[in-house]
Amino acid sequence: MHYENVVDLKVTQVDQSRIDQVDFDNLMFGKTCSDHMMICDYEDGEWKTPEIIPYGPMLMEPSAKVFHYGQAVFEGMKSYKDGDGKVWLFRPQQNFERINTSAKRMAIPEFPKEYFFSALEKLLNLDYEWIKPGIGNSLYLRPFVIATENGVSASPSNKYRFMIITAPAKAYYEGSVKVIFAEEYSRSADGGVGFAKAAGNYGAQFYPTNLAKAEGFDQIIWTDADTHEYLEEAGTMNIFFRIGDSLVTAPTNDRILDGVTRKSIIALAEEKGIDVQVRRVSVKEIKDAARAGELKEIFGAGTAAVVVPVSAFRHGGEDFELPQLENSYAKQLKANLLDIQYNRAEDPFGWRYEVEIEK
């Protein structure tokens, strides 16, 4: 698959690449950005022609509305290089649609499809050498939009900047994580912006997550804001539970992000003949299943982390350990997903998107 409606972008290349200064074996996630970035401004009611320029700082007014009212949304994507040097994206149409869904909820104008895909294609051509082959290696892509109009009146901005920056990445998590089931704090509520990738959703998680870390845990599995009886998301990931041989996950709604990895895991599991149940999952059900020995696995799923198993959880002062399975669903589904992403297996779903590399 390749997007054909390519826009001629204005491109200013770096004088000299920084790639030789980077230790690709010791990367901190999202800390080292590659040579180029895309910027596109919205002014006078329209998006201007996108530009690709050298990555670097930019000037903004202290009164820019993003700093005061949080009009900011983002996406997370990855590009992969296979053994033949071909470059792939994974279901980018989903990310394009979701950033516009997020933007609409935050009163931000939607971004044109031809600009989005043209910018991705050009960036990946310019920074081709930053995409390292091999399972676990990728170039993380961060499209985002911020409100740039100056003035602190409490109203939507009339100026915005859409940007894409990229960063070489290795595996986000290694091993498993320990989690707490939320009993007091909430990630989102009915009628809110939980389904959007709004920047404030993530900022609001940091404090309760820090409290969990102080108790020796890595993340929080969030529960519904009304009763704290139903499990919804894990940190920045969607969450799956294996009860017996069934895989259970909460349905998406206006509190839960419609994760691309989540949808892919569900499709892969169903293809393997696994019983997948998309329904509400109560804290009581999971604790009862753990006591009865029926809770086999919990794992999170997301773009950055891919699939992360949970080794233990706490709720109501009780601690529960999960069994370590040799051939877990988490391991199987992660391997299946990575094989598709890195072009090591057939793609029966048509998820791979080949980037046309200019020779």
Q: DSSP label at 256?
A: B
- DSSP class per residue in 272-335: TT-EEEES-EEHHHHHHHHHTT-EEEEEEEETTTEEEEEEEEEETTEEEEPP--TT-HHHHHHH
Examine the domain organization and report whether 166 and 186 are in the same domain: no
Q: Is residue 331 part of a domain?
A: no
Examine the domain organization and report whether 138 and 97 are in the same domain: yes
* pLDDT the model gives residue 8: 83
Examine the domain organization and report whether 165 and 196 are in the same domain: no
- Position 348, amino acid: P
* Whole-angstrom distance, CA of residue 288 vs CA of residue 280: 15
Q: Is residue 1 part of a domain?
A: no
* pLDDT the model gives residue 333: 98
Q: Is residue 128 part of a domain?
A: yes
* pLDDT the model gives residue 65: 98
* pLDDT the model gives residue 13: 98
Low-confidence ranges of the chain (pLDDT < 70): 1-5, 359
* pLDDT the model gives residue 3: 58
Domain, as residue range, for 222: 177-325
CATH number, residue 203 = 3.20.10.10
Domains identified in the chain, total number:
2
